[in-house]
Amino acid sequence: MKKDLTTQKDIEQLVDLFYTKVKVDQVIGRFFTEVMQVDWEKHIPTMYDFWSNVLFYSGNYTGNPMQQHIAIHSKAPFTVTDFTQWNLIFTSSVDELFAGENAETLKQRAQNISTIMQVKLFQKK
């Protein structure tokens, strides 16, 4: 039986698995490897803090993910398919490692974040 997400180490394990999958993904991998040319040593700890804050309200994250995604979108526009793929990878990563109330909460919050980003990025001007 899988355990629930309860610690910072759990978040780190999830983020590590997620980005292992994302880096090689045929749909969205290019955003990380070509468009942004991510500095992984900086990005991964930032994502640990972000997701820890999303689930545990840790207060460790400071930043503006919407602003960052707007900048990426201006270089290489996102599509609904990109967000769908991101959600599939995130959800499958959670499900591969964890089960429980926090796991379900995190998946729902990730979906909500994705929806809000899509509304803001794709709104007609």
Given a cut of 60, is residue 125 above it in pLDDT? no
Asked if 49 and 86 count as a contact pair (C-beta separation under 8 A), the reply is: no
3-state secondary structure of 59: coil
CA dihedral 58, 59, 63, 69 (to 10 degrees): 30
pLDDT at 38 over 90: no
pLDDT at 123: 87
Mean per-residue pLDDT, 65-76: 93
Domains and CATH numbers, the chain: 8-122 (1.10.490.10)
* CA separation for the pair 48, 61 (Å, rounded): 9
Task: Give the residue-averaged pLDDT of 49-75.
Answer: 95
Q: Is the pLDDT of residue 101 over 90?
A: yes
User: Does the pLDDT of residue 5 top 90, yes or no?
Assistant: yes
pLDDT at 124 over 80: no
The pTM assigned to this predicted structure is 0.94
> Is residue 35 within 8 Å of residue 45, measured between CB atoms?
no
